[in-house]
Structure 1
Amino acid sequence: MRVNELLAEGYGRLPDLVRGAVEGLSADQLHWAPGPGANSIGWLVWHLTRVQDDHITDLVDGAEQLWVTGGYAARFGLKPQAHDTGYGHTPDQVEGVRPESTEALLEYFDAVYARTRAFIGRLTEDELDKIVDERWDPPVSLAVRLVSILDDDVQHAGQAAYVRGLLPQ
């Protein structure tokens, strides 16, 4: 198995995880949180998608974030700000992420996931050692960044599924 096939396998699990967390939910259910200051299902899926969009876009030469160019922000009650991925959000900012529907979440996720799959499909093993972020010690390689994105996304998809299980009946 080639490395891009392995990465495709890992990332390829995300669509089912995301869909399992959100399909069939109303906008109110997407916005429901289990307690004050807690993350909603909508915020968790928005955030995992924003992180993937932001980080993969940084790796694709000449690309712009789909959040900024794709018209998705308005469907979440937000502005298309490239720097806003949800990282460090206050409870008020979490509260402000309001996807209008499951479809809004899935359309944005699907577009980002398609870009990610295309990027991974072109990778070669020789590219994995390339340093993509020198702000860290040690500097971050492409391989480490891709695993980091996947790890973050899987955790947030699992959190969204957990919150779904807490929804009032």
Structure 2
Amino acid sequence: MQDVELYADLITQLSKWAHREVKNLTEQELAWQPDAEGNSIGVTVWHVGRWLDVTARLLQGQPATQELWLTRGWAERTGYNPQGIGEQGLGTVTGYTQQEVAAIPLLSAQDLLLYLRQTSNALSTFLRSLSSSEPLQEPLYPGAPYTKQQLLQTVFLGTCGHMGEIEALKAMMRRRASLTA
């Protein structure tokens, strides 16, 4: 198995993991926060989807207008365009203020998982289209201090961490609910 195939399979498996963890959550559970500054499960899932969306676009050298959040009508449906917000204006939650996080639309589990599936499929399909991992060794853009593969690795590892975060948030939410019951 080539590196690109392995990455594609791992991205697909992470998406399936998220589906198992989130598919049966209510909108209230998706919006629950452990404290005023903690992200909810919904925000965390959206964050993962956004990073996959942005990563697929960056790896393909496409302009920001080609992100699925825009091309699949999410921005239009929700009235929310994240571009230009946060770190490097990527709109991925990274570098957001609390007010910017609060502006992220509250999506149902079905919608969050649909966007996540769309973005993971786009990234996995692109990776499978490569005949080798050689293109991933190129700088992300001319003069970039890191390669496409380093971006992919960072996003993959971050996604794994966020899946643990989702599991922890669910456990904290259930413990809090059992204490108040």
**TM bracket, shorter-chain basis:** 0.7 to 0.9
* Partner of residue 148, structure 1: 154
Once residues 100 and 121 of structure 1 are traced to their aligned partners in structure 2, the CA distance between those partners, rounded to angstroms, is 30
**Residues 47 and 135 (structure 1 numbering): CA distance in 2 closer, same or farther, change over 3 Å?**
farther
How do 1:81-96 residues align onto structure 2 when only pairs under 5 Å count?
Answer: 81-82=82-83, 83-96=90-103
Once residues 135 and 22 of structure 1 are traced to their aligned partners in structure 2, the CA distance between those partners, rounded to angstroms, is 39
TM-score under structure 1 length normalisation? 0.87
Once residues 62 and 46 of structure 2 are traced to their aligned partners in structure 1, the CA distance between those partners, rounded to angstroms, is 23
* Greater helix proportion: 2
* Partner of residue 133, structure 2: 125
| 2:118 corresponds to 1:116 | no
Q: Which runs of 5+ in 1 are unaligned?
A: none
Once residues 46 and 60 of structure 2 are traced to their aligned partners in structure 1, the CA distance between those partners, rounded to angstroms, is 21
* Partner of residue 87, structure 2: none
Length, aligned pairs only: 166
Deviation string for 1:1-36 (max 9, x for gaps)?
211222123212212221133111111110110111
Match for 1:72 among 56, 71, 74? 74
Q: Which runs of 5+ in 2 are unaligned?
A: 84-89
How much identity, in percent, do the aligned residues show? 25
How do 1:18-97 residues align onto structure 2 when only pairs under 5 Å count?
Answer: 18-62=18-62, 64-73=66-75, 77-82=78-83, 83-97=90-104
Once residues 92 and 162 of structure 1 are traced to their aligned partners in structure 2, the CA distance between those partners, rounded to angstroms, is 24
**Residues 57 and 26 (structure 1 numbering): CA distance in 2 closer, same or farther, change over 3 Å?**
same
